[in-house]
Chains A and B, each alone.
Chain A
């Protein structure tokens, strides 16, 4: 699939001749129990149209009332993004004709956002091969405003799921009315060839910040954090901004990076061919790594905003805003630096922990008494493997940080070997109980009965006279065969180091 029929330009070549300018719009679903303007529940994954009420369905006479918690979260997000908070602001109706909003408009904010003029400092990591250095980029935030999510459409007929060729659509309004905050950046200039890295790092930093604020699940794969990527190219940093494309619903950090790269290559090809970039919405395709043209921005974009008469203006009490400011968490970047120092992790060790999404889990495991290095080993090693195998997030595994700390305590006490601990983990993940419970039920504890060990060692010696000869003849490494025999006899539940000691002792005696 080519870009307006002109192919693609190699990314490195494109950024050597053009200056990319990014703009990012992030929609975040708040984790309130109820919708923005009504008391309908907001749980993810419910049966279609079971989390609705007259307001979310836009039934005649239904009146919206603002969710106090959503307003509080919006202000806290604004403050965390170093924004000014509006002294007074209103909601507006965004009118459009599409069945994902049954009332034919979305309640949003237009010229009076709750928060505006902020910034977020983003740590952009060095490239993996180390050829491009790490740096900090200040993302200017234009605004953060409150609005409501839309329903979900399922297109049926033609090739099902695609809008083109669909015969009809089925709509579920469970999501309609869920509180959304839309965070819009100013044009991000001066990123040069690092534009994809800046875009990714910004969304990652925003995700971490929202998670620390505890205002959203921020699960990109479930759509509670969604990113639209605006991109334009210009011949030089002094030139006016070029025409932008808006790529919708880029729903993973890796995709944010890939979509920017793709659009840079595509725009460059269009411009090289002497054609104009069409200002349009494009769709990101995760499977192919391509964008395709969607709706062209035209007069269909005429939303006829006007102030929402059913909702009264918001005038946040400045004293309340200051109280909310006092609830802001330690900024995630600062917190990471502090934790790395406290835990004594090397840069690569800490990066692995961050990349595994395990910082909070390690922190909680350490708080529950585990040594930091052991906590990291569990979460970035064995538990990450299990999460990958099951295709779930690390935090979704059926084991708590406290349970991991308990398990590690058994290892540290010599009750479990690493292998036995992994077996105990099987049981814990299968819901068989806590570490001690599983160890007892499955009989996993290391055999500490010295006489049983001695008996097994003596039996192995008696059964392997040839091996014993070799050891006595000086081939100490032959002891491995005896240790193996003992471990087998003990069902693996012996401390191998202790068995080795006993073998050497009893053979050499």
Chain B
């Protein structure tokens, strides 16, 4: 059984707003499946005494004081923007979606 279905790839493509053809979906599903199979090998070494972790180093409670540090000017912030207007990032129209 494959680790990821073509339908799941199609769903992920829609979530990421990537327009994919049927042929691309077929090819990507196969390639992602191979990647996931490789990653799944980790599961073969899972034992009861090793808890799942999101952080490989045993660090906790790293914080910074609430002190302002110099950031970027509007010019610097917008320097890498493909388009800008009135000091703001200009982005393509967003239809039917609101966060």
Contacts and interface: CB of A to CB of B under 8 A. Distances in A.
A and B: interacting chains: yes
Interface of A: 32-34, 38-41, 47-54, 56-57, 59, 65-71, 88, 90, 95-102, 150, 153-157, 163-164, 166-173, 281, 294-295, 299-300, 302, 304, 306-309, 311-316
Nearest to B91: A99
A309 B54 contact: yes
Nearest to A95: B15
Interface string B67-92: 11101111001101000011111111
Residue of B14, B77, B87, B90 with most partner-chain A CB within 10 A: B77
CB-based closest 8 A-B pairs: A39-B69, A53-B71, A307-B54, A69-B66, A170-B88, A68-B63, A48-B87, A171-B89
B40 to A, nearest CB: 17
Interface residues of B, number: 41
A300 B86 contact: no
Given A33-B66, A314-B60, A167 B86 contact: no
B38 interface: no
A102 B77 CA distance: 12
Contact of B74 (A50, A157, A168, A308): A50
Nearest to B14: A299
A51 B87 CA distance: 12
Contacts of A59: 80
Residue of A48, A66, A67 with most partner-chain B CB within 10 A: A48
B16 interface: yes
Residue of A38, A95, A99, A307 with most partner-chain B CB within 10 A: A99
Nearest to B57: A312
A88 B55 CA distance: 13
A39 B73 contact: no
Given A97-B15, A171-B89, 6 more contacts: A52-B77, A66-B63, A155-B93, A169-B93, A170-B85, A170-B90
B99 interface: yes
B73 A90 contact: no
A48 B86 contact: yes
A57 B60 contact: no
A302 B15 contact: yes
A294 B72 contact: no
20 contacts: A48-B87, A59-B80, A66-B63, A68-B63, A69-B65, A69-B66, A88-B60, A97-B15, A97-B17, A99-B89, A100-B99, A150-B99, A153-B91, A156-B85, A163-B94, A169-B92, A170-B88, A306-B54, A312-B57, A316-B61
A79 B15 CA distance: 38
Given A39-B68, A50-B73, A168 B63 contact: no
B67 A314 contact: no
A452 B94 CA distance: 76
A213 B52 CA distance: 37
Contacts of A34: 66-69
B71 A39 contact: yes
Nearest to B75: A49
Given A48-B87, A304-B15, A313-B60, A168 B69 contact: no
A312 B72 contact: no
Contacts of B77: 49-50, 52, 57, 173
A88 B61 CA distance: 10
